[in-house]
Chain A
Amino acid sequence: MNAPESRGHPTNQLDDLVHQRGRLGILSILADSQQADFSYLKRLLQLTDGNLGRHIEILTEQGLVTTTKGYQGKRPRTWVAITEEGRSALANEIAALKQLIEHFERSQHTRQPHHDHR
C-alpha cells in the first residue's frame, strides 16, 4: 500500500489492491454498514459468485475485511465486515482519487490560453 507521505503525481498514491472497481465497491458498501452478507454485495455490485468470492478472498488476505460464516436457521450465510485497516485504505484511495481530479482540473486551467481583451 502507498504511504500517505509518498507524494509526487497523484496516480502514485492509488493503491492497486483497493483501486479495482469491485473491491472499491465492496469496501465502500461495508464502510457504511457494520456488515453485509454475500448475497447483498453480489446484488448491489452485480458480480458473479466467483468474482465476488475472489475479491473478498483478496481483501481478507490483506486484512481489509473479515468474513464470518453463520446460519440463518438451516441456511448458511456469509457475513463480510470491514476492518480498521480497510477503512483507512478506503479513505486513502478516495483522497487519492480526489487529488487526481483536482490535479487534472488545475493543469487544464493553466493550459487554457489567456485572451487579451484590449
Chain B
Amino acid sequence: MQPTDARTLLDDTQRLRRRARADRQATSLPLLILGAVTLLGAGLVLPTGDTDTADPLWVIGAGLGFLALAWWSARQQTRTGIGSGRGSWLAVGLALLLPTLTSLAWRPIPIRLSPSLPLPAGVLVGYLLLLTAGLPLLAAVGWWRHRGAPVGQDRDYWRTAGAMLLGLLVQSLLLATLTPLFGPLPVVAFGVLLVAAWQRNPVLAAWAVAFGTLTTLEHFLILSNRLMDLTSALGLFHAKSGYSPQAPALAYALIGLLLLAGGLLARRTERAA
C-alpha cells in the first residue's frame, strides 16, 4: 500500500465521521435548551437574589427540555436515517421529572424515610407506582409501535421495557439524592453527561462537565463572590455590605449565555460539515 493511499483513506474516514456527527446534530440543540433554561432561571433569581425561587423552573424546565429532545431525536433519526433515538433523553427527562413531581404531590405530608436520607417517601411511592403501572405501559407502547412487523422482529417488548425502567429507576434515585446536596443544575448537568456517555458524544460531555462545575461552584456562591471582587476592583460597583443580591443572577445569566454561545457555535459547525 502506498502512503498516499493511506493518507486518502484517513482523510476519507475523518470526512465521513465529521459528516455523521453533523447529521446527528446531537450537540447544538441540547446546549441551546440548557442555556435558555438557565437564563430564564437567572431572570427569576434577579429580583430577590434567592436561587430557591428558580429551582422548580430549572428542574421542570430541564426535564421538559429533555423530553422535547427525546421527541426531536426520534424525529431526526426517522428523517435522516442516523442518530441515537429517543431512549437516553427520555430516560433522563423522566428521571428528572418523576421525583420532582411526586415530591411536589406529597409535599403536604412531609414524611422522610430517615433523617440522614434527604429523600421524601413520596418519591418512593412514585417509583412503586411506576413499577406496577409503568412496565405494562411501556410494553404496550412497544407492542403498538411494532404491531405491523412480522413475528420475530423487534418484538421483545418486555425485555426492552424492563431495561428502560431499571435505568430510569437507578438514574431517578441518583438524581433525587444528589439534588438536595448540590442544587438542581449540577444534577441536570450530570443527566446530560450520562446521555453524552451513552451517545459517545465527547463534545457534549465536555460541555456537561463545564456546566456542572460552574453551577456547583455557584451553588456555593463562589462565582458570585469572585464576580463581586472583580466589579469592585474595576470600580464598576461597590456594595455597601460587600455583597450584592443580584450577583447570583448575574453569575447564572453568564453561564446561560455561555451555553447559548456554545450551542450556536456547535450549530454553525454542524451546518458547515
Contact = CB atoms under 8 A, between A and B. Distances in A.
A87 B117 CA distance: 41
A101 B5 CA distance: 9
A71 B81 contact: no
Contacts of B146: 70-71
A98 interface: yes
Contacts of A30: 20
B83 A31 contact: no
A11 B149 contact: no
B20 A21 contact: no
What is the interface of chain A mostly: helix, strand, loop, or mixed? helix
B contact residues, range: 20 to 34
Interface in B69-116: 78, 80-85
Contact of B82 (A24, A36, A104): A36
B9 interface: yes
B19 A44 contact: yes
B104 to A, nearest CB: 34
Contact of A29 (B16, B85, B153, B154): B16
Contacts of A2: none
A5 interface: no
B24 interface: yes
Given A68-B154, A74-B148, A40 B3 contact: no
7 contacts: A35-B83, A36-B20, A36-B82, A40-B80, A44-B20, A70-B146, A104-B3
8 closest residue pairs by CB, A with B: A40-B81, A104-B3, A34-B84, A37-B81, A36-B82, A32-B20, A28-B13, A28-B16
Interface of A: 11, 14, 21, 24-25, 28-37, 39-40, 43-45, 68-74, 77, 94, 97-98, 100-101, 104-105
